[in-house]
């Protein structure tokens, strides 16, 4: 327990005064001894009588003795109480700093966003997860309401700062990917009003997506699988009946049954793939990929399909070099493959396909002066929405020269199971999920899908992705 500073100083001063008193007494005794020794003498010193030089000598000796006393007295005793108090304060501050460093390290290690606000709502501290959540850097010092567009969370923080208890608030963020979150708002001290408020956010998007995915999967599977299952059951019943002994009918029906079973297999595979992509759509990718070489790899993997369908595919990298970006390579591979596969099915017989990669604004069908219709954000609109220069966008474009798509159909192309030509889609083995998969992959990569079409002039699908250039350091 820390000593009382005033009592400590009083005791130290009393000790110093006692020592000085003893020292002065000793000096006085010495002077008295000199007077006694030299008192009876009538001798003179430097021609001066005894009553003149003796007091003078005693005074000089007294001054010299005091000088020696203070020469070897450092005065440290007077500083000891202050030094002890300062040492205690330094130890307390070091312990507090260690606790603060530990708290900051814990906050950095948390995978969920954490904010500490002052009474005015200014962000004093935000961990790395918070910066990633807001997709912004250096947010400390900004007002919380300006950093996070969630008025109900700020209102809860303001109420807690004024003296309310802890609040729990559910909110959603808008953007290319909607996120569902829950904020825990609690005071960090017992003062009134509170000096600091803690805001801890849990991302519930994954849980909500699992629930939605389960519901969508059941609904989609039950709807889309009903027809092929009914067809299979009908053919099985026929084969067990009058066609049981007809080899020609049996072979025909078995071929149809196999085609229906393969269609169901593709449908289930696409449903599972779409569900996985939607489940992680709010989680940014962390891998690395070169968009130009990736597009070439997709084309090379589809060579047997091109030869079988007699499709003609031309690839051009408008950037002239690598296009590196942070991405999930397997997902981008699937997106490009779906776009090319779509162009093979609907790009004419035989299909002529042009695949282009580059940066910035992709080529447009309207560049040659012909009228075309578009659905989806342009490069400028997408760049403004995600807050980046247009040059920080990369694109892969797959264009066919088929019959084109009606303007009214363009906005619905990325809907689940939507088909412009149902009979042709079923004949070609399409599931109606390919473009929906591409759209969600683009959203996860902070991009978007743009569709441009002209009747009798073909269709261009452009997938924009965020791929910031490395800029030279300032200074």
Residue 217: how many CA atoms within 13 Å on its side-chain side?
Answer: 17
| Residue 300 or 472, more confident | 300
| Residue-by-residue DSSP string for 7-68 | HHHHHHHHHHHHHHHHHHHHHHHHHHHHHHHHSS----BTTB-HHHHHHHHHHHHHHHHHHH
CATH number, residue 197: 3.30.450.20
Mark whether 168 and 259 lie in a shared domain: no
Q: Which helix (H) or strand (E) holds 350?
A: none
Mark whether 17 and 114 lie in a shared domain: no
Does 97 reside within a domain?
no
- Judged by average pLDDT, the poorest of 146-155, 158-167, 364-373 is 364-373
Does 408 reside within a domain?
yes
Range(s) of the domain holding residue 223: 207-283
Mark whether 219 and 153 lie in a shared domain: no
Does 100 reside within a domain?
no
Mark whether 291 and 434 lie in a shared domain: yes
| Residue-by-residue DSSP string for 260-316 | HHHHHHHHHHHHHHHHHHHHTTTSPP--EEEHHHHHHHHHHHTHHHHHHHT-EEEEE
Q: Which of 157, 184, 203 is the last residue of a domain?
A: 203
Does 125 reside within a domain?
yes
pLDDT band of 21, cuts 50, 70, 90 = low
> What is the tens place of the pLDDT at every residue in 158-193?
888 888 888 898 888 876 567 788 899 988 877 767
Q: Which residues contact 111 (CB under 8 A, 6 or more apart)?
A: 129
Tokens 């969630």, residue located:
150
| pLDDT score recorded for residue 293 | 94
Mark whether 35 and 163 lie in a shared domain: no
Mark whether 453 and 323 lie in a shared domain: yes
Is the pLDDT score of 286 beyond 80? Answer: yes
> What is the tens place of the pLDDT at every residue in 423-461?
555 555 566 788 888 998 998 888 999 999 988 888 999
Mark whether 213 and 176 lie in a shared domain: no
| Residue-by-residue DSSP string for 110-156 | -SS-EEEEETTSBEEEE-HHHHHHHT-S--TTSBHHHHS--HHHHHH
Mark whether 213 and 196 lie in a shared domain: no
Does 473 reside within a domain?
yes
Q: What is the pTM of this model?
A: 0.54
pLDDT above 90: percentage of residues in the chain: 15
> What is the tens place of the pLDDT at every residue in 238-268?
777 777 777 887 788 788 788 778 777 777 7
Does 98 reside within a domain?
no
Is the pLDDT score of 418 beyond 70? Answer: yes
Mark whether 175 and 36 lie in a shared domain: no
- Separation between Cα atoms, residue 177 and residue 179, nearest integer Å: 6
Mark whether 211 and 301 lie in a shared domain: no
Region 301-308: mean pLDDT is: 88
CATH number, residue 214: 1.10.287.130
Region 348-377: mean pLDDT is: 85
Is the pLDDT score of 400 beyond 50? Answer: yes
| Residue 397 or 213, more confident | 397
Does 65 reside within a domain?
yes
Total number of domains constituting the chain: 4
Region 319-323: mean pLDDT is: 90
Q: Which of 226, 258, 283 is the last residue of a domain?
A: 283
Mark whether 317 and 383 lie in a shared domain: yes
């Amino acid at each position: 327990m820390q000593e009382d500073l005033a009592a400590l100083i009083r005791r130290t001063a009393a000790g110093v005064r006692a020592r000085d008193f003893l020292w002065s007494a000793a000096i006085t005794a010495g002077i008295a001894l000199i007077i006694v020794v030299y008192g009876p003498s009538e001798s003179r010193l430097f021609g001066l009588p005894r009553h003149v030089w003796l007091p003078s000598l005693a005074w000089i000796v007294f001054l010299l003795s005091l000088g020696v006393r203070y020469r070897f007295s450092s005065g440290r005793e007077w500083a000891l109480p202050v030094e002890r108090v300062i040492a205690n304060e330094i130890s307390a501050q070091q312990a507090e700093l260690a606790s603060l460093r530990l708290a900051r390290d814990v906050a950095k290690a948390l995978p969920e966003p954490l904010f500490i606000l002052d009474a005015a709502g200014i962000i004093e501290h935000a961990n790395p997860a918070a910066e990633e959540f807001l997709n912004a850097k250096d947010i400390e010092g900004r007002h919380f309401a300006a950093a996070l567009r969630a008025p109900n969370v700020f209102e809860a923080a303001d109420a807690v700062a004024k003296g309310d208890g802890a609040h729990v608030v559910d909110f959603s963020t808008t953007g290319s990917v909607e996120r569902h979150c829950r904020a825990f708002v609690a005071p960090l001290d017992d003062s009134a009003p509170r000096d600091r408020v803690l805001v801890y956010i849990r991302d519930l998007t994954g849980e909500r997506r699992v629930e939605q995915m389960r519901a969508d999967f059941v609904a989609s599977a039950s709807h889309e699988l009903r027809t092929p299952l009914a067809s299979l059951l009908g053919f099985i019943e026929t084969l067990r009946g009058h066609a049981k002994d007809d080899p020609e009918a049996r072979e025909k029906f078995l071929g149809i049954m196999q085609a229906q079973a393969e269609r169901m297999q593709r449908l289930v595979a696409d449903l599972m793939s779409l569900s996985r992509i939607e489940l992680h759509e709010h989680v940014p990718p962390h891998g690395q990929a070169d968009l130009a070489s990736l597009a070439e790899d997709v084309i090379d993997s589809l060579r047997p399909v091109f030869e079988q369908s007699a499709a003609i595919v031309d690839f051009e990298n408008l950037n002239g070099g690598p296009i590196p970006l942070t991405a999930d390579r397997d997902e981008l591979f699937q997106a490009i493959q779906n776009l090319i596969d779509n162009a093979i099915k609907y790009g004419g017989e035989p299909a002529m396909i042009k695949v282009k990669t580059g940066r910035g604004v992709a080529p447009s069908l309207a560049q040659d002066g012909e009228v075309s219709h578009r659905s989806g954000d342009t490069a400028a609109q997408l760049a403004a929405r995600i807050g980046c220069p247009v040059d920080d966008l990369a694109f892969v474009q797959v264009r066919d020269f088929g019959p084109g798509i009606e303007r009214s159909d363009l906005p619905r192309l990325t809907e689940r199971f939507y088909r412009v030509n149902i009979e042709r889609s079923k004949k070609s083995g399409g599931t109606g999920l390919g473009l929906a998969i591409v759209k969600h992959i683009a959203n996860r990569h902070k991009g978007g899908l743009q569709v441009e079409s002209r009747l009798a002039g073909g269709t261009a699908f452009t997938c924009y992705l965020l791929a910031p250039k490395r800029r030279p350091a300032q200074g």
